[in-house]
Amino acid sequence: MGKLLRAAFSKNILNTSLKISLIVGTILNLINQGENLVHGENISWFHLSLNYLVPYLVASYSAAKNAVTPNKQ
């Protein structure tokens, strides 16, 4: 578990996961709350944060898991 966390917080994985989160989170927010944004209505800040957090966690976990798992060929 320690190796996985160290890998997840490495500079390369952190930067890549943040970029993915910004792109995917923005798309998800447009899909899920686009109508409210267009009409100037209230948005759900909880859902907005989840739309960015989930892609970040998925990208970080998968990259870290790939980094610590030995290649079996």
Q: In this predicted model, what pLDDT tens digit does every residue of 13-67 receive, in sequence order?
A: 999 999 999 999 999 999 999 999 899 999 999 999 999 999 999 999 999 999 9
| Residue 73: per-residue pLDDT | 62
pLDDT of residue 37: 87
d(CA 28, CA 54): 10
Classify residue 73: in a domain, yes or no: no
Domain that includes residue 20, residue range: 2-68
Residue 65: per-residue pLDDT: 94
pLDDT of residue 1: 82
Structurally, how many domains does the chain consist of? Answer: 1
> pTM of the predicted model, to two decimals?
0.86
Which string of DSSP letters, residue by residue, matches 6-37?
HHHTSHHHHHHHHHHHHHHHHHHHHHHHHHHH
Please provide the size of the chain in residues: 73
Specify if 33 maps to a domain: yes
**Residue 30 forms part of a structural domain:** yes
- Flag whether 22 is in a domain: yes
Residue 27: predicted pLDDT: 97
